Structure 1
Amino acid sequence: MMHQMLADFLSRSGDGYGIFNADDRLVFSNPALAEIFAIEPERLHGMSFEQIIRCCHQQQQGLKIETTDLDHWLLYASQRRRSVPFRIFEADTVDGNWYLMSEQCNSEGAILLHAKDITEQKRLQLALLQTEQRLKNQANTDELTGIANRRFFMHQAEKILKHQDRIGAKCSLLMLDIDHFKGLNDHYGHLAGDRALQFICEQIRLQLREYDLFARYGGEEFVIVLADIPAREAVSVAERIQQQLATHVLHYRQAPIRLQVSIGIAEHEPEQSLNVLLQRADQALYQAKAAGKNCCVVARASTL
């Protein structure tokens, strides 16, 4: 009676159950395990672990075996199996389901395999991670332009400056301001102003390295930290940005809008704070504006 109850339970269970003998051949499996392996129950019975894995890999069904060297994968798996009396791991299938697997090994080398469907938990976990990442991006990103916001810039720039000090490397900060931006807003409207901010960022990004810190500092003002680049080389970057804008025109409602930026450049000095560096770049930017705009000025060395 008890044996029949157990047999009925295993047959109806949504969990997969199987027993591999000491020779690693499957001597028992319930229907759920056969579905996980995507192998017919009558064919599955008596197959070795290696045969099962090779079948899944070759047919691209059942367990997902992501490897270009199946023999090496099997060697690694054989080293893990029976290495401890009990182990737990996760596995996914080609059809997108996830399972929490457990292997319990007895003193004779037989393994009891249990597979629990955790697909829904994995989906919820993934959704949570995606939500956390989205919230993190929203906290660190300027909503309009998609680049870093001021808060994130201040945090990251501090870390960059400390690293540059530690390794004794040069570093420059560029502060950029769009020329005649108020007039653009007044003439074309604030939607055109928003598009201009986006366009400026798109063009500037083309002249920066992937890891350069680029942020909207406020309004129509932007900042860039160029690690490992002294001021004399930062001038070349600034000029490339201005040339990029000179040769690419924003078209807004069929009206061509030419955009220009004034740029202040300050080279980071050893142990100098970020606030002082920003003040020096801002002063250089003011001088660029006073000099007629659409130009760049390098700040003098600090006397502090």
Structure 2
Amino acid sequence: MSKICDNLGAYIFAKDMQGKYTYANDKVEVLFGCSKSDIIGKGDSEFFDLSMSQQMVENDIKVLSGQQQVVSEESNFVRNTSEQRVYRIIKSPLFDNENQIIGLAGIAHDVTEEKRLREQVEEQKQLLSIILDNVEAHVYMKDEDRRFLYVNSKVADLFGLDSKEIIGQKEQDILSEETAEHFHLSDSKVILDQQVLRVEETVIDNEQKYHYLSVKVPVTMAGKRSLIGFSTDVTEIYKLKEEFKRLANTDDLTGIYNRRYFLKEAEKAYSIFKRQNMEVGLLTFDVDYFKKINDRYGHPVGDEVLQNLTAIVACLLRKEDIFARIGGEEFAILLPCTDITSANRVAERVRREVESSLFCGIQKIQLTVSIGLTEFSSKDTSFDDVFSRVDKALYKAKESGRNCVTFLN
């Protein structure tokens, strides 16, 4: 039996009711740095600094006085090595033939390194958690079954749930069906292709649109394909980008498109026309004698006239029509999928509506416009040909007495 105890890889010992050692195996002998004969009959104070080994003393008392087994961890200061060591111990009472307690038997494993590593892992886990909870990103982990394995506090706040309520759940059980499927499109691609994916994702929640820039990284956990996602809310940046784009394409005074945007869209329309032979109408118009309005009423009134004019004309057009201010008082309208007959009707409607309207509030200013009209032709080599032709049509309308529509093909 003694040989078995010496080869178990654990510290095995026994004590009497006074806490004196009655047995110690080879490992205890090595730990204390003395022979078994020097251990037997002596108490713990010979081998441990009891002021730094209180757990050991308390556990012995529990076993000897309460006659109960104790399973615990003890932190003890060993005199021989001058070290604080941690042991996982099991201490049980010993009884004689008359069932009277006569001492205790114990088995201990040194778990100092294990505990140090556990604490180190826990510290690193806490540190990582602090970092992930404070980065400006929603961080999450999902497996191939769409089950959440981890979420940081930003994800929990976004979902309005505690992280413990999310982990272990499938995304379709937490998110709306539409949102869950939207995210799953890119998630499944990452897991199937096993490649990092960077993607822009858009989610609509309570009629609000949110934009995320996501990086999704494939990983394998316990043999199961998974992914780690980092999603940054770029909604405000997206709005700014859209606003910059709008400002770049918009006329400051009237709020309609500017010359730059108009020419860009016109070139696109011309390319489609050449490929598909789509009918496209183009008209430009000038406010007749606008200089007289500026001279008589001043430029602020002239600006208000242009603003009122564009508001009236915009109401006459379709969503797909491109209406732009291309000069001081000169405007252009691109009419996709519109034959020349329909384009002429639009031009006449614009002319009549402007003629019948009063502008600039109390000033009651009446306006007329001269309109040039043309259509894209197979003979044109570029949009410049079309634009030059409609410009000539506008010039002819002015020469013809103004307040009229002139067509050139």
- The normalised TM-score by structure 2 is 0.55
What do residues 143-192 of structure 1 show as CA deviations (whole Å, max 9, x unaligned)?
21222222222232122123213222332221101012111111211011
Task: Give the equivalent residue in structure 2 for 1:231.
Answer: 340
Task: Give the equivalent residue in structure 1 for 2:304.
Answer: 195
Task: Give the equivalent residue in structure 1 for 2:82.
Answer: none
Give the Cα–Cα distance (whole angstroms) in 1 for the partners of residues 119 and 191 of structure 2. Answer: 30
Aligned length: 277
State the SS of the aligned residue for 1:266.
Answer: strand
Q: Does 1:3 pair with 2:86?
A: no
2:330 to 221, 224, 230: 221
State the SS of the aligned residue for 1:184.
Answer: helix
Give the Cα–Cα distance (whole angstroms) in 2 for the partners of residues 281 and 24 of structure 1. Answer: 59
Give the Cα–Cα distance (whole angstroms) in 2 for the partners of residues 78 and 235 of structure 1. Answer: 52
1:67 to 171, 174, 177: 177
What do residues 80-102 of structure 1 show as CA deviations (whole Å, max 9, x unaligned)?
897577877899999x9978676
The code of the aligned residue for 1:140 comes to: N
Higher RCO, 1 or 2 (CA under 8 Å, sep at least 6)?
1
Give the Cα–Cα distance (whole angstroms) in 2 for the partners of residues 130 and 19 of structure 1. Answer: 28
Alpha-carbon spacing, 1:101–1:143, altered in 2? closer, same or farther (3 Å): same
Q: Does 1:258 pair with 2:378?
A: no
Task: Give the equivalent residue in structure 2 for 1:62.
Answer: none
2:377 to 229, 253, 269: 269
- The normalised TM-score by structure 1 is 0.71
Q: Could you tell me whether the CA contact under 8 Å between 1:85 and 1:106 is conserved in 2? A: no
The code of the aligned residue for 1:265 comes to: L
Alpha-carbon spacing, 1:141–1:86, altered in 2? closer, same or farther (3 Å): closer
Higher strand fraction (1 or 2): 2
Give the Cα–Cα distance (whole angstroms) in 2 for the partners of residues 262 and 80 of structure 1. Answer: 57
Tell me by how many angstroms 1:257 deviates. Answer: 1.7
Q: Does 1:106 pair with 2:215?
A: no
Task: Give the equivalent residue in structure 2 for 1:49.
Answer: 169
1:155-174 equivalent positions in 2, closer than 5 A: 155-174=264-283
Give the Cα–Cα distance (whole angstroms) in 1 for the partners of residues 327 and 144 of structure 2. Answer: 69
Structure 1, unpaired ranges of 5+? 58-64
State the SS of the aligned residue for 1:207.
Answer: coil
Give the Cα–Cα distance (whole angstroms) in 1 for the partners of residues 244 and 398 of structure 2. Answer: 37
Alpha-carbon spacing, 1:39–1:146, altered in 2? closer, same or farther (3 Å): same
Q: Which has the larger radius of gyration?
A: 2
Q: Does 1:39 pair with 2:159?
A: no
Task: Give the equivalent residue in structure 2 for 1:207.
Answer: 316
The code of the aligned residue for 2:177 comes to: T
State the SS of the aligned residue for 1:49.
Answer: coil
Alpha-carbon spacing, 1:97–1:5, altered in 2? closer, same or farther (3 Å): farther
Alpha-carbon spacing, 1:80–1:239, altered in 2? closer, same or farther (3 Å): closer
Alpha-carbon spacing, 1:246–1:110, altered in 2? closer, same or farther (3 Å): closer
Give the Cα–Cα distance (whole angstroms) in 2 for the partners of residues 152 and 22 of structure 1. Answer: 45
Instruction: Kindly report the root-mean-square deviation, in angstroms, between the aligned alpha carbons of the 2 structures.
Output: 4.2
